[in-house]
Amino acid sequence: MTVLSTSLPRRALLRGLGASAMGALGLAELSFAKEAGSTAGVTRLAAVWRDGPSAMAQDWAGVLEVLPQASGGYAWRMAARTPLPTRGHGVQTLPDGQLVFVARRPGDWLLRWQPQTDALQWAWMQEDRCFNGHVALAAPATARAQSGAGRSGILFTTETDLEDSQGCIGLRDAASLEKLAEWRSHGMDPHELLVLPAALGKLPAGTLVVANGGIPTQSETGRSKKWLDSMDPSLVALHPADGRLLGRWKLPDPRLSIRHLAWDAARQRLGIALQAEHDDARRDSAPIFAVWDGQRLQLAQDQPPLAGYGGSVECAPLAQGGFVVSCPKSDCMAWFDAQARYLGSSPQGDVCPVARDGARLWAGGGHGVAERTSRSSDQAVPALDTVTGLMFDNHWRLMG
């Protein structure tokens, strides 16, 4: 069955899945806490969403559950949620089940949340910095090198220094969220970041890989993109102990913003979703994907026009590996092999958040959620809840 194709705008509504207003329900009416960990076969996804398209609608961080149904297939529901002051973006899971969410750029909050107890810890950006939307848990090597780090470990956050618009990496205690140190990201507009779980060539285990989006921004103009002629995106590798620059890689076209990352541990390949910022027709046909093997960047090959926009990237649920890139502006998921060769696409309207769960891929967008096991095999996942309308943000994170 093919999952939906829609002309609705990006992050369009999930509509018509029920009658009552989810926005009126409180946390007590959600049932994550009492059932957490007790249901076999349940997939939990950390997510960020908004109740509806209006800026008046409430932003939420929460947990979605995908549950196997007795009749076969799956259905999803909201299992827990907590309100956010502004729109969130990235999320990191912690070993104890807590989740850390960060505001969309230019953001000013970081939230650690225990969905089972609803315990919250906020950190507000008071300094001359803003959050850029992503957070990652550092390797033990980083925690060991940071005096003052607690047992909970270190979180990396991508940030911008509002004085000079240069990128920073915040090192924060995962328990208190207090900033312990700061590294330079060696580029502008750092976005997603990822910790290498094992050594890769000369790069030690725990190396921090950062996608410097390269778009000049300043605090006075928020998300407006200016001075695109001076874009300078890069992928950088930073030493896990002290943040020193271990390597920097650039694409031949500086208008390709390097934004999102996924690591294929089996093949030691990094999948990279790109967003084109050309101000002419080149944008439509620009590559949306690249791979990195620790030594070089390889742009997508034989890719058709996909509106120049990759919203998120995930490892493909295939034996031979590869990656999928969600393309909400061209209403499909694009599939690439580990050498960045384009394999084809699967239609799904307004698709953006994706998360791999073993041999399955869960993808959100358009009017719902889809389960996908290959490029040609997909199944719509209906909602169990009385959800009238919500908009998923770009990313999901599989919870353990």
- Shortest distance, position 366 Cβ to other proteins, whole Å: 15
Select the residue interacting with other proteins from 1, 19, 40, 56 (CB under 8 A).
56
Q: How far apart are the first and last CA of the chain?
A: 29
In 10 A of CB 395, how many CB atoms?
27
| One residue of 63, 79, 115, 133 binding other proteins per CB under 8 A | 133
223 binding other proteins? (CB under 8 A)? yes
Task: Tell me how far apart the alpha carbons of residues 177 and 121 are, in angstroms, rounded to a whole number.
Answer: 8
Write down the least CB distance from residue 149 to other proteins, Å.
25
Distance of alpha carbon 270 from alpha carbon 322, whole angstroms:
10
What span, in angstroms and rounded, lies between the C-alpha atoms of 115 and 97?
Answer: 8
Q: Interface with other proteins includes 126 (CB under 8 A)? A: yes
Contact set for other proteins, span 263-282 (CB under 8 A): 275, 279-281
**Stretch binding other proteins (CB under 8 A), from 16-24, 103-111, 136-144, 297-305:** 103-111
Residues 353-392 that bind other proteins (CB under 8 A): none
Q: How far apart are CA 297 and CA 309, in angstroms?
A: 18
| Closer to other proteins by Cβ: residue 32 or 131 | 131
| Gap between the Cα atoms of 170 and 129, Å rounded | 10
Q: How far is the CB of 352 from other proteins (least distance, A)?
A: 7
To other proteins, the closest distance from the beta carbon of 85 in angstroms equals: 5
**Taking contact as CB under 8 A, which single stretch among the options 16-24, 51-59, 341-349, 360-368 is the one that binds other proteins?**
51-59
| Contacts (CB under 8 A) with other proteins, residues 307-336 | 309, 311, 328
Told to check if 129 binds other proteins by CB under 8 A, we report no
Nearest to 193 by CA among 89, 326, 114, 53: 89
Q: Of the candidates 44, 50, 186, 367, which one interacts with other proteins according to CB under 8 A?
A: 50
State CA 377 to chain mean position distance. Answer: 24
Q: Which two tokens stand for residue 205?
A: 């285990």
Least distance (Å) between residue 391 CB and other proteins:
9
Q: Which of 2, 20, 69, 86 binds other proteins (CB under 8 A)?
A: 86
- The minimum distance between CB 55 and other proteins, in angstroms, equals 4
Nearest to 94 by CA among 11, 152, 31: 152
Q: Tokens 């149904």: give the residue.
A: 69
Of 8-16, 172-180, 193-201, 263-271, the segment contacting other proteins by CB under 8 A is 8-16
CB of 359 to other proteins, least distance (A): 28
Interaction of residue 227 with other proteins, rule CB under 8 A: no
87 binds other proteins (CB under 8 A): yes
**Calpha distance 301→337 (Å, rounded):** 10
Q: Does 164 bind other proteins (CB under 8 A)?
A: no
CB atoms within 10 A of CB 337: 18
Residue labelled with tokens 């829609």: 6
Pair of tokens at residue 195: 């910790």
Q: How many residues bind other proteins (CB under 8 A)?
A: 43
- Which is closer to other proteins, CB of 225 or CB of 360? 225
CA dist., res. 104 & res. 87, Å (int): 6
Task: Please report, for residues 76, 255, 307, 397, the alpha-carbon distance to residue 371 in angstroms, rounded to integers and kept in the order given.
Answer: 11, 33, 24, 15
Single out the residue of 390, 388, 347 nearest to residue 370, CA to CA: 347
Which residues are at the interface with other proteins (CB under 8 A)? 9-11, 50, 53-56, 85-87, 89, 104-105, 108, 122, 124, 126, 128, 133, 162-163, 191, 218-225, 259, 275, 279-281, 283-284, 309, 311, 328, 352, 394
